[in-house]
Structure 1
């Protein structure tokens, strides 16, 4: 609430018929949006975003004012109730979180040009938007077991882990240095000592040459081929790569794993629920914007893409007031 409270609702982008009265900028379902309200919010926008061009500020204010009416109308259509007590509780919680000191809140109102009624109106709209969204996605969490099983069958690789190998390596620039490093290891010198003396790879050198959990296909092609054909514990190399010459040993092999359907079920269900909720929201949002835009008429100098008699909406939404 340090800025204008957001009109949440997962981006419910908002938009009546008949003429617009002379003292109004628009009507939604025939209900006028007064010029006085428009000018008030234009003052707020100018205070918060003084660099905005007039047309951009106009579009944000018209979007806000139309949105407030759209949420009210949609909530009524869906028979969604919101009591004053809910609004007061949410307002108080947000105020306490954003402004522990009342003096800071008062300063915010003064500098932003808003009144407490403005903030409560935004809180109310946000609560309505949330309730609308909850109603829209209700039931989307019921995923048939067959859908879970089908998803698992199509995406088994997503629930598996490939074999991984822990390595110890020495990387040198010249083949001769790699051969000397290997000879030192064969004599019994420690990996820590050998990597410190010969390795040009600072990362593995800092850990005595350790290179853990390498999956096939993640290393340089020549090294990858050598690593995954090597026996555990055997010293191998030098192997020429684009980075230099490697001497290595495989210290551990972690076998590949495959989650069962039972193990993968929670993650799959979560994915499918998310997909179903998003589909429900997308379908609703398209219908919502179309219906309410058709009910919104704007005066000539105030026409935006939220108005039925305004420019055609584009894929890029009007910037929101922040």
Structure 2
């Protein structure tokens, strides 16, 4: 994570791209909030003040260029300021092209607001979920750890303090915001460590069974180094072969006769050819040929080949002992991922069930969200990825942001 990248998807690791059935309306959201997560740290309320704060940051970080004026957050439901700003900053339409209407600008503003809402609220809810889960599992992060992480990342991202202050001003962020993100990130890392602890153990029997089933993965096929000349006609191929038999070098003959530009420029060389890579007639011939014997012409769909095998590298099969470190690492990773997948599934179901959002602020992380349509490709939930990842990921086009 970099301080210059503000993640609006802090809970990406803990979000599955699956639809969950609705069950009840959950606890009511207080008047000063846009959402509430029950059974979590504090009162679990995502306040309107916090939401608006992060909307400003999200708007700034999603489209602002360095040194430019802050980008205003779209203002529902009429989007008066947003429309005015778009009209003010829109380039003059090309000759013959229609001018964008207020209705079209309003549609753009509405889409932008909903996109920012989904990112910001998804982030704020995810932060509540992570902190709630950490509390339930007795996981804590010390102020000392946060101080250390903050100092390291600030130094890396902003060698000059003036650049750091400029970043805070332009993004609308505070140091408290950044420290909060670092806290949640570290809680998340500790959760992952706890979930995967001890799940990397693999027995010798498991390793042997995997090796037996997947021996081909640990084999290197036979390969041959070749010298080839490709010509359009049989007569040209025979002339090329005659020149070789007379003692002319492959490089000279290939340069004169070959129409295969790739091998011609390399003196006719084709290195590390394995069975099935070449056209069948040539493939059969070279893998039946003896080393250092010139063969051909062989007719193929590309023309006529003259060939010579210069080196034969025999098939190599790793033994079980040789393959064991690779297999052990693979199976350990799979076991850890399986544990993480199950945790994510249970985690998301539990915390979504505890999350209720106000109308106009409902996203797929809310208990009172409508079930996603099942006849289209699965879409990751807000801020999520289709496959759980061990670190949070910012949504496409967004910069990073912590939560307050």
Which range, TM-score by smaller chain?
A: over 0.9
Alpha-carbon distance in structure 2 between the residues aligned to 1:300 and 1:210: 69
Task: After TM superposition, give the deviation of residue 72 of structure 1 in Å.
Answer: 0.6
Give SS of 1:301's match: coil
TM-score after normalising by structure 2: 0.76
Count of equivalent residues? 322
Aligned to 2:45: 32
Q: State the 1:285 CA deviation.
A: 0.7
- Look up the SS of the partner of 1:300 in the other structure: coil
1:281–1:250: structure 2 CA closer, same or farther, 3 Å change rule? Answer: same
- Residues 44-55 of structure 1: pairs in structure 2 closer than 5 A: 44-50=57-63, 53-55=112-114
Give me the TM-score of the superposition, normalised by structure 1.
Answer: 0.95
Q: Deviations over 1:29-85 (max 9, x none)?
A: 152221100110111111122586111111111111111111111111111121011
Q: Note the C-alpha offset of 1:310.
A: 2.1
Distance 1:212 1:120, change over 3 A: same
The 8 Å contact of residues 258 and 264 in structure 2, kept in 1 or not, is answered as yes
| CA shift for structure 1 position 143 | 0.7
Which residue does the alignment assign to 2:14?
A: 12
Instruction: Give me the whole-angstrom Cα distance separating, in 1, the residues matched to 2:235 and 2:173.
Output: 76
User: Structure 1 residues 41, 217: closer, same or farther in 2, change over 3 A?
Assistant: same
Q: Which of 102, 114, 130 matches 2:189?
A: 130
Q: Which residue does the alignment assign to 1:274? A: 333
**Residue matched to 2:306:** 247
2:320 alignment partner in structure 1 = 261
Report which stretch shifted further, 304-313 or 124-133. 304-313
The reply on whether 1:81 has 2:94 as its aligned counterpart is no
Secondary structure of 1:302 counterpart: coil
Cα 1:278/1:236, change in 2 over 3 Å:
same
Q: Within the alignment, does 1:298 sit opposite 2:362 as a pair?
A: no
- 1:312 Cα deviation after fit: 2.7
Q: Which has the higher helix share?
A: 1
- Give unmatched runs, 5+ long, in structure 2: 64-108, 384-394, 400-404
In 2, Cα distance between equivalents of 1:10 and 1:197: 60
Moved over 6 A (4+): none
Give how far 1:7 is off: 5.3
Contact 1:174/1:244, CA 8 A, preserved across alignment: yes
Q: 1:206 deviation in Å?
A: 2.0
The answer to whether residue 238 in structure 2 is matched with residue 179 in structure 1 is yes
The residue number in structure 2 matching 1:99 is 158
| Aligned residue among 289, 293, 301 for 1:234 | 293
Offset from partner CA, 1:129-188 (integer Å, 9 cap, x none): 111111111112111111100000000111111111111111112221111100000111
Q: Tell me, in whole angstroms, the C-alpha distance in 2 between the residues paired with 1:219 and 1:10.
A: 45
Q: Where do 5+ consecutive residues of structure 1 fail to align?
A: none
- Structure 1 residues 8 and 179: alpha-carbon distance in aligned structure 2, compared to 1, 3 A threshold: farther
| Change in 2 beyond 3 A, CA 1:9/1:233 | farther
Pairwise CA distance, 1:122: 1.1
Cα deviation code 1:94-116 (max 9, x no counterpart): 11111222211111111111111
Partners of 1:62 and 1:97 lie apart in 2 by 29
SS at match of 2:14: coil
Please tell me the root mean square deviation across aligned C-alpha atoms, in Å.
1.9
Secondary structure of residue in 2 paired with 1:67? helix
Q: Which residue of 2 aligns with 1:21?
A: 30
Distance 1:256 1:10 in 2: 44
Which of 276, 288, 312 is the equivalent residue of 1:217? 276
